[in-house]
Amino acid sequence: MKKFLKAAAILSVSAAVLLVLLYLILPGRPGGLMEFDDPYMKDRPSVHGQRFMASTGTPWATRAAVEIMKEGGNAVDAAVAALLVLNVTQGEESSFPCVAPVMIHDASTGRVWSYTGAGTAPAAATIELYRGMGHEYVPKFSMLSQLLPASPDVITAILIRFGTKSFSEVCAPAIRIAEEGFPVHRMMEKNLGMNIFMRLGLTLLMPYNSEVYLGGRWWRPLQRRERFRLPDLARTFRAMCDAEASALRQGKSRDAALLAVRDYFYRGPLAEKIVEFHKKEEGLFTMKDLSGYRGYWEEPLAGSFREYTIFANRTWCQGAVVPMVLRMLSPLELKSMGHNSPEYVHTVIQAIELAMADRGRYFGDPDFVDVPARELLSARYAAVRRTLMTPGKAFGMTPSPGDPRRYRATLQGKMTGFKKPGLHGAVVTRGPGRDTSYLSVVDPSGNAVSMTPSDFPQSPMVPGTGMTLGIRMTQFRLDPDHPSALMPGKRPTITPNASIIFRRGRFYMSFGTPGGDMQTQALVQVFLNMAVFGMDVQEAINAPRFRSMNWPDSFSPHEYRAGEIHLESSLYAKAGSALEKMGYRVVEKPDWDYNFSAVCAVVKDHAGGRLVGGSDPRKESWAEGE
C-alpha cells in the first residue's frame, strides 16, 4: 500500500511539473492588456438624465445605446444596438443568436407590448426520442439541448414596427468591438474560469467553443484585461449587414431590407451552416424548422400592487411570477415589519414559494397549454393563496399548487405536472459560461424597452460563425404531464423575462435581471425596496438580498434543495439565526454575490421631470444617460 501511495504521489508531482512546463513553454494569447475601470463590485450613485437613459449588463452595451440615441435613434434602435454589443461583450452569458424576451412601452399610445423572445423545439424533438436515447431530462453539453434561435426574429420584428435605424447602423458598434477587441472583465473571467482539466476537456469535446473563448490555448486561463476578440461573429454580423445593403441597392424599402436580414439568417447561408452542422453532429434542426420559425406580438400579462401595475411576458417564460407575488403581498403591512427583518424575509419568501408552486403546475407555452393566467393574477386568487402562509414557520417543502379556476388555495386530487423529487437532484456540472444579461432603455419621447437576452456556450457552437445555439431545451421537461413538457414546435417555459411597471396609469420603470430562478425573486425585492421602503433605485439595487431554493430548478437536471434559503452576508448577520429557528436551512453567501442576480433599471420621475438609472454592482452592469 505504501509503495502504491508513493507511486501515486510521484505521478501527481510529475504531472504538476509537466503542466507548469507546458504553461511556461507553450505560447500565450496575443493582443496584450487593455485599460479598463471595471465596475464589478464597485458602489455607484444613481444616474440622472433629462432626455434619455440606458442601463445594461456591460458599460460597452450601455454606451452603444446612448450613442445611438445621441444620433437620433429611438429606444428600440438603441436596445438592438445594446443587445448586439451584449452578444459580444457578454457572449458567454447572452450570446448571438439568443433568447430575448422583450417588452416595449409605446409612448405615443401609452400601450405596452410583449414579443415572444423564445424559440421553439424542432419538429423531430419528442419526449419519446429523448427517452429512447436513455435521457431522464434534456442533456446539457449536447446538440440535443439547442432550441431554435429567437433573437434575429426579435431584432427585425421590433425594428420594423418601432425602430427608425437600419440593421447596419445599429450593428456597427458590435462589429467594431468584436473586431477591435475589449478587455476581459471580472464576470467573464469568472464565467470562463475553468481549471486546466476542464479547459482541456472543453477543447476535446467542443473544439470550436474552445477556439472562440480560449483561443484554442487550453493550457492558459483567460487573464483579466487581456484583449478579447470575436472575429468570426463580426464576420457573421457583417454578412447580415451586407444582405440588408444588397436589398436596399435593389430599391427595396427599409422594412423589406430588414426582412432580407432575417431571411439571410433563417432561410439563407446562416441557416444552411446551422443545418449542415446539425446533420454532421446528429442534431435535430432542419431547414424547414428554421424557415418556418416565427415569433409574434402579444398583449402582456398584468397584475397590481397598490397604485402600481406590473406588466409581464406571457407564460412561455416565468415573468408573471412577479405580479403574482406582489398581488399576495399588496395588502400586508410590510413596512411595519421592517426592511429585511426576519418576519419580512419570511413573508416575502412564502409568497414567492407559493407563486413558484403555481408556476410549476400551470406555466407553459400558451399556444399548447391552457393556462389560467387571468385567475392566477387576480386579487381573489391571491387572497386564497395568502391564507396558506404560516407566520413564523417555514413551509419546509415546496407548497402545493392552488386551484385558480375554482379559487381554492390548494389543488385537490392528482397534481399532474408537479412532481416532488427527493431533497436533492443530480449534481450540476459547471461548464463554460452561465446566466443571462439584461438591458433597459428609455428615449426622449418616453418610449421604453425592457429585454433579457440569454444563452451560453454549453453546447457545440456553429463552426466559423461565432454563433452559440445555447441549451434552452433544458428548460423543457420529459414528463408529458408537465405544462413545460417537450413537444415539437413548442416553447419551453424559460427563466429570462422582461418587466415594465406603471404607477397611477403612467410609465414608471423598465427593469429586469439575469439569474435563472433568482430573477423574479430579485425583481420583487428591488421593487419592494422602492415602493414600500422609499429607497431610490440604486439604493434598492444595492440592498442585501435573499433567495429561496425550495422548488425544482428550471434547468435540467432540475436540482431541488427543499427548505433551503441563501442570504447575503450582511442580511445573514441580521436575520439568519431567526430564520433558522423558523425551520429554514440557511446558507450564508458574500455580499453583492453575482448569484443573487444583477438588476438594471430606468425610472421615470414624473414629478422631477427626469430619468433615473440604476445598475447592479454584483456584475459589470452600468447605467448612463443625458
Under a CB-based contact definition with an 8 Å cutoff, are residues 440 and 89 in contact? Answer: no
- The pLDDT of residue 419 is above 90: no
Q: Give the H or E element holding residue 388.
A: none
In this prediction, residue 494 has a pLDDT band, given cuts at 50, 70 and 90, of very high
pLDDT at 415: 44
Distance of CA 163 to the CA centre of its chain: 23
- The pLDDT of residue 594 is above 70: yes
Helix (H/G/I), strand (E/B), else coil: 241: helix
pLDDT at 608: 87
The average pLDDT across 141-158 equals: 98
The average pLDDT across 549-562 equals: 95
- The pLDDT of residue 445 is above 50: yes
In this prediction, residue 374 has a pLDDT band, given cuts at 50, 70 and 90, of very high
The average pLDDT across 496-500 equals: 98
Ramachandran bin of 201, using left for φ above 0, alpha for ψ from -120 to 50, beta for the remaining angles: alpha
**Mean pLDDT score across all residues of the chain:** 93
Q: Euclidean distance between the first and final Cα of the chain, in Å?
A: 72
pLDDT at 420: 47
Compare 601 and 25 and report the one with higher pLDDT. Answer: 601
> Using alpha carbons only, how large is the chain's radius of gyration in Å?
24
**DSSP-assigned letters across all residues of 556-605:** TT----TTEEEEEHHHHHHHHHHHHHTT-EEEEE-TT-GGG---EEEEEE
Comparing CA positions, the residue from 436, 437, 443, 438 lying closest to residue 76 is: 443
pLDDT at 416: 41
Pseudo-torsion of CA 381, 387, 389, 390, nearest 10°? -170
**Poorest-pLDDT segment among 25-39, 164-178, 217-231, 543-557:** 25-39
Distance between CA 162 and CA 22 in Å, rounded?
54
pLDDT at 22: 54
pLDDT at 11: 54
Residue range 3-29, pLDDT digits in tens? 544 555 555 555 555 555 555 555 555
pLDDT at 18: 55
pLDDT at 414: 46
Helix (H/G/I), strand (E/B), else coil: 555: coil
Residue range 70-124, pLDDT digits in tens? 999 999 999 999 999 999 999 999 999 999 999 999 999 999 999 999 999 999 9
Residue range 177-203, pLDDT digits in tens? 999 999 999 999 999 989 999 999 999
pLDDT at 423: 42
Sheet holding 585-589, edge to edge: 546-548, 564-568, 585-589
The average pLDDT across 435-442 equals: 96
Residue range 303-348, pLDDT digits in tens? 999 999 999 999 999 999 999 999 999 999 999 999 999 999 999 9
The average pLDDT across 524-532 equals: 98
Looking at the DSSP bridge assignments, the partners of residue 614 are: 601
Distance of CA 140 to the CA centre of its chain: 17
The average pLDDT across 386-402 equals: 97
The length of the chain in residues reads: 626
Under a CB-based contact definition with an 8 Å cutoff, are residues 162 and 106 in contact? Answer: yes
In this prediction, residue 360 has a pLDDT band, given cuts at 50, 70 and 90, of very high
Distance between CA 121 and CA 490 in Å, rounded?
6
